[in-house]
Structure 1
Amino acid sequence: MATVLRNSSCLPSRLPFSSFQSPWLLSLRSLSQSLQTLAYQEIQASEKPYDSTVLVLHGLLGSGRNWMTFSRNLLLELQKSSPSNEWRMVLVDLRNHGRSAGLKGFDPPHDMVNAAKDLSNLVKHHGWAWPEVVIGHSMGGKVGLEFIASCARGDYGESVVLPKQLWVLDSDPGEVKSNDGDEVEKVLQTLQSLPSSLPSRKWVVDHMIQLGFSRSLSEWIGSNVKKYGEHYTWAFDLQAAIDMFNSYRERSYWSLLEHPPKDVKIEIVRAENSDRWDEHILRKLSSLTGKEARFDEGKVSLHVLPNSGHWVHVDNPKGLLEIISSNFIFK
């Protein structure tokens, strides 16, 4: 269904999803360039005022819309489990990605620190209550970890309220070594080799397949090709995204996991067939999740998503939905 795109200074635009029995509402907002805040999509399951907020953070080269279907299904589950509590999902386009890539004001360095600070700026600009839950996939998982760490340090001011729960979906919390055999690095190297003006979306998909990438991955990359005038180009800022990927690899959040802030639950989800987890990482996580929780610290838990590779919301969305909904924090 088509959605209406409006500037944030306008009244919210909301349209029902007719394919659902619930009166689904969608608000699609793109903020003025001068505001220097992120673009986002906002969904609720009813017209009631929301009580609580979930921020959903996509991975490298993605956008918030990648998580639309999963987020709607999660809202359905939350309604069933806690009908008296009205949740909304805010699907963020991180800096240099999606519709945020077309906005001005996101100055370098393009790293996890500034990507997390963008979330703080978004909340403060709109006068929102701080989110109760953050869900981040891959690079978005590390942005979420940085957001928690920065909130706990007081980097965003005294008014900050820490999220009650952070979901880190198939994201290595430590430093990630460069590996030429890694699929993400291969994708980035391939995209760098392509011309800035692309022949067409189909050409990109066919080219990626010819280079040996899977059709599903190639079509996902192709979904990021947008037409501007008579030309096709990327919906993301490729070089800035590469900078973010380098920051993702360099940042480590083991110290945060070893001493999580009080009353915060950090839920790590490992995809069973993902190549991002070696034995050293798993032993380290096992030691953290197995230790007795201290009264002045939060808790870290590890979940395994079966029958799934790195693209958890595509490979096994039902399994992921079950893990999150059955371990979700309610007010």
Structure 2
Amino acid sequence: MSVIAFDEIISSSSSSSSSSSSSSSSFRTILLIHGLLGCGNDFADFAHSLASSVSTSHDSADWRMVLVDLRNHGRSTDIKGLSQPDDTINAAKDIANLVKSLEWAWPDVVIGHSLGGKVALQYALSCAQGDYGDSAELPKQVWVLDVVPGKIPTTSHYAEIEKALYKLKTVPSPIHSKEWLVDHLINLGFSKFLSEWISSSLKRSGDHETFYFNIDGVIEMFKSAKDMDYWALLEHPPKGTEIAIVRTESKLKWDSDLVERLDSLAKRETDESTGKVSVHVVANSGHYIHKDQPQTLLQIMTPKISSLA
């Protein structure tokens, strides 16, 4: 069985270290899933801070932070044999297969940013449906960072992203520098912000730059994630699971109807027969909350995650 690439950060009462593999099942696991065109390393700084924060809050707990490279991204770009098609369901299944192959305990916490947030929701849904087998255990917490849980409307912003991804298929190679690609995309009519974001996903290879993702694969993943709708999961969260939506103040992404719908779910009375939804707003942050406002995010997450120990 093919598995996606990952890194680990191990944090315990006695030590804190990084490694690429571990067969121990004694750790509580926090799994972090990056966004479109990213890789696991995008979460590295935040994961180290979170490991330190939860360990300080509960000295007796041993934590494993797992930073994955989703299919078609980072070191998973060239991995063969992953289930097809390249959609959100199979991206989530990759995570379950990783857990099974390494014989880890199932993750207690799953954190996903943007595209990774949709994958995190699908992972929870598939666990609840029994898609990963009888041994699979639901995460106790699912953290969804700045992505709409339902179908994403075809606004100009998302339309521009999809158009830019298709244009990448026509970019001449070799790409000599990130600056060249930024200028090239701007000349094609894309915004400077979008052009710089795409160019940040280049990797140096010899005397030129190369994409650190598979273009065709990420296009399919983007289209799939955009069309997936997890409102039913939020309306009926599985017993024992909290789904925490962390959003920015952006009115472009989070319109009043969305905000009202989420707040209504968070305020709803629940009992032990069902899970719950919480909503957290991070002020003065861009899309990358874990980079723009890491301390605020830690203050939100640490008490909740530490309560699991």
What count of residue pairs does the alignment treat as equivalent?
A: 296
RMSD, aligned CA: 2.1
Structure 1: runs of 5+ lacking an equivalent: 1-34
Shift of 1:212: 6.0
Conserved? CA contact 2:166–2:219, under 8 Å: no
Closer, same or farther in 2 for the Cα pair 1:186/1:274, shift >3 Å?
Answer: farther
Conserved? CA contact 1:180–1:186, under 8 Å: no
Aligned residue identity for 1:321: L
Larger deviation, residues 270-279 vs 54-63 = 270-279
Aligned residue identity for 2:217: A
User: For 1:84-129, what per-residue CA distance to the aligned partner results, in whole angstroms no more than 9, with x for missing partners?
Assistant: 1011110000010010002111243111100000001000001111
- In 1, Cα distance between the equivalents of 2:303 and 2:284? 18
Conserved? CA contact 1:261–1:298, under 8 Å: yes
Percent of paired sites with the same residue = 47
Conserved? CA contact 1:274–1:308, under 8 Å: no
Superposed, 1:240-251 pairs within 5 Å as 240-251=217-228
Q: Show structure 1 runs of 4+ deviating over 6 A.
A: none
Residue number among 51, 56, 67 corresponding to 1:80 in the alignment: 56
Equivalent in the alignment of 2:202:
225
Equivalent in the alignment of 2:4:
38
1:195 has 2:194 as partner: no
Equivalent in the alignment of 1:26:
none
Equivalent in the alignment of 2:93:
117
1:129 has 2:105 as partner: yes
Taking structure 2 as the reference length, the TM-score comes to 0.88
Larger deviation, residues 280-289 vs 189-198 = 189-198
Residue number among 83, 93, 96 corresponding to 2:72 in the alignment: 96
Aligned residue identity for 1:224: S
Equivalent in the alignment of 1:19:
none
- In 2, Cα distance between the equivalents of 1:111 and 1:170? 20
Equivalent in the alignment of 1:168:
144
Aligned residue identity for 2:5: A
Conserved? CA contact 1:152–1:162, under 8 Å: yes
Conserved? CA contact 2:164–2:190, under 8 Å: no
1:273 has 2:239 as partner: no
Aligned residue identity for 1:108: Q
SS at match of 2:44: helix
Shift of 1:148: 0.4
Taking structure 1 as the reference length, the TM-score comes to 0.83
User: For 1:211-249, what per-residue CA distance to the aligned partner results, in whole angstroms no more than 9, with x for missing partners?
Assistant: 56446x655433322244565321100111011011111
User: For 1:126-153, what per-residue CA distance to the aligned partner results, in whole angstroms no more than 9, with x for missing partners?
Assistant: 1111010000001101101000010011
Equivalent in the alignment of 1:29:
none
Conserved? CA contact 2:182–2:192, under 8 Å: no
Higher relative contact order (CA 8 A, sep 6+): 2
Structure 2: runs of 5+ lacking an equivalent: 18-23
Equivalent in the alignment of 1:324:
301
- In 1, Cα distance between the equivalents of 2:137 and 2:83? 26
- In 2, Cα distance between the equivalents of 1:298 and 1:212? 42
Closer, same or farther in 2 for the Cα pair 1:123/1:298, shift >3 Å?
Answer: same
Shift of 1:318: 1.7
Closer, same or farther in 2 for the Cα pair 1:41/1:271, shift >3 Å?
Answer: same
